[in-house]
Amino acid sequence: MNKFLTAMILAGACTSMQAQEIASPNGKLKVNVGCENGVANYSVVLDNDTVICKSPLGVRTSIGDYTKGLTLSKMSDIKSVSENYSLPQTKKANISYTANEATYSFQAKRGDNSFDAIDVVMHVDDNNVAFKYVVKPLKGRGGDRLACLVEQEATRYTFPEGTTTFICPAMTPQTGFARTAPSYETFYEYDAPMGKNGHGRGFTFPAMFKLTPMSNRMMGTQPNIWVMLSETNVGGNYCGSRIESTSANSYGIAYPEMTEFGGVGSTAPGIMLPGDTPWRTITVGRTLAPLAETTIQWDLVKPQYEAKYDYKYGRSAWSWIIRMDASCNYNEQKEYIDFAANMGWEYLLIDAIWDSNIGYERMEELSKYAQSKGVNLFLWYNSNGYWNDAPQGPRGKMHRQIDRRKEMAWLQKAGIKGLKIDFVGSDKQQTMQMYEDILSDANDFGLMIIFHGCTLQRGWERMYPNFISCEAVRASENLAFGQNDNDIEALAGTIHPVLRNAVGNMDFGGSALNKRYSKGNDRGTTRKTSDVYALATAVLFQTPVQNFAVAPNNLTDAPAWAIDFMKKVPVMWQDVKFIDGYPGKYLIMARQSAGKWYVAAINAADAALTQTITLPTNATEVTAYTDDAKLQGSVNQVKVKKNQFKLNVPKNGAALIICE
């Protein structure tokens, strides 16, 4: 042993234990937690490749600064934790979680006395690293400190040089339509270098990184490593966080900005002591499969209440995306109810301004009419409130509990089954508390909830059983608003299922079969993607209540095979399999429903995607929806040998293969 190393170990031994390792059940994914010069740190390795370089840990709180002056006093025994649970409204109905867990205890000093300051609880499974802090009560002569503000979290993620990023810049608070930002609706950057900081305020979760291990760069033999950062278990207990660039190859946790939520509320979260911070999750794979298929966001949370009603999921018609505000009137909604019934869909979402265009009494009539046709209603609400200028009604009904419960009692009496609540736009703890309160009140009245113009859910599918989805994506409304989003629709489509939709149900509102985004299908922005693409994304974009953009005119102006598929498209999936893809270029993924695998491929690259894939079942014949070079779709029964299927997908086109 050389002198330098001996000196380092001796110096370390005086103050702190050496770094301690915890590995995944298969031994491949390893985390080291240590403490150097009073600063807690961790690093992550997959096999022998560095995933996260040694990076600081710690929190600065109102009762003590635990980002420095720490010693690692103890590491618990490593124990195996496992759980089986079902979550049928997500991408995977039955989930089995097995991980190794260890707790690392850090002490701080006051005068000559050391005291227990924080624990870092670490979970490592074969594809995910997750950790949280537990802040300890502070003993004092006049009584213990049992609450604190977490003013700053020191967690950093330092990546090896050459890592590229697939991340969305965080929006500037109080900008955008009627000061409704931030709402997670910016464009992704694809394969962008590290070192940038978005629009000056970092990036939102989930964030994806591509690492090129040294062995790959030298020999070109090893595959890349894909990493997804996110967080989970955030409700009223904490704020939502984002990441900010802290150096050329490092990102740190950042809390909401003071200006969010109209400037009301705090940026730093408050917690009871002992108290937990949210779980920081790091999903790691040699392909995108561990990211697309991860369930870590639900593995680490618990249901916060029981479902009071039997929530029924389904497909929903939605006039607003094609016909906008003007369509939210009695006659057109009646037309859409008939359309939903014709499609065999379970729901209709009636969007903004119904309160003035239809009114409460006639809405009761409309709801009765819908029910007589076997269709149930979701209604739109403005969440606001005092934090932005969004004028659409109904307004002022959701942000305070007394008003909200009065409204929800009426909604239940009128037979309404769910709400889409819009324009929330903040990650502050006070806002998270409001999301949680809306969800728990809605459960008392049998209402399912979709949030729009909102934060990203962080474990909510499992925490709140009547939660359906968040938007938190640059969604279909932008296809109606501007041509550029149409020009890059397929490009964005290749990333959502492996990133945004990987951490939770996504209310995208897509699958338009109109050529143009207008009632007459003759004006407005022009769709560049094929009809098969619309079908493929009905499978790729997952949420248990899908608001589809298919319109009544499509019964006569869209191909009959496309309408027939949309009539029977499932929204409930047992399983998901990533097959191949590269965000920004192409994606091939499969979902399983009622025993059948639906394999969907989309292509955003100039060259056709010609690849032979292995289908996930032993079918000898499959139903294949495919595009020709001019994006003209057709459906055929195709004989299959040895599960091999040859794709030929043109740019902006798709293939959808159903394996019986």
Residues that bind Ca ion (CB under 5 A): 453
Residue given tokens 């929330």 in the structure block:
424
CA angle 562/563/567 to nearest 5° reads 120
> Minimal distance in Å, beta carbon 459 to Ca ion?
22
Dist. CA 329–CA 263, nearest whole Å: 35
Please list the residues that pair with 65 across neighbouring strands.
60
> Minimal distance in Å, beta carbon 177 to Ca ion?
8
Which residue, 35 or 450, is less far from Ca ion as judged by CB? 450
End-to-end CA distance of the chain: 63
> Minimal distance in Å, beta carbon 173 to Ca ion?
15
> Minimal distance in Å, beta carbon 454 to Ca ion?
8
Measured in whole angstroms, the distance separating CA 115 from the mean position of its chain's CA atoms is: 38
Which residue, 206 or 453, is less far from Ca ion as judged by CB? 453
> Minimal distance in Å, beta carbon 265 to Ca ion?
22
Which residue, 171 or 432, is less far from Ca ion as judged by CB? 171
Which residue, 480 or 657, is less far from Ca ion as judged by CB? 480
Which residue, 452 or 585, is less far from Ca ion as judged by CB? 452
Which residue, 453 or 465, is less far from Ca ion as judged by CB? 453
Amino acid found at 627: D
- Among 567, 555, 538, CA closest to 344: 567
> Minimal distance in Å, beta carbon 351 to Ca ion?
12
Please list the residues that pair with 31 across neighbouring strands.
22, 44
- Among 200, 197, 227, 198, CA closest to 211: 227
> Minimal distance in Å, beta carbon 589 to Ca ion?
24
Dist. CA 658–CA 660, nearest whole Å: 6
Please list the residues that pair with 545 across neighbouring strands.
314
Which residue, 346 or 477, is less far from Ca ion as judged by CB? 477
Check residue 97 and report its DSSP letter.
E
The residue at minimum Cβ distance from Ca ion is 453
**Cα dihedral across residues 461, 464, 468, 470: positive or negative:** negative
Dist. CA 388–CA 175, nearest whole Å: 9
- Among 77, 78, 76, 120, CA closest to 99: 78
Which residue, 485 or 531, is less far from Ca ion as judged by CB? 485
Dist. CA 351–CA 355, nearest whole Å: 10
Amino acid found at 639: K
> Minimal distance in Å, beta carbon 228 to Ca ion?
23
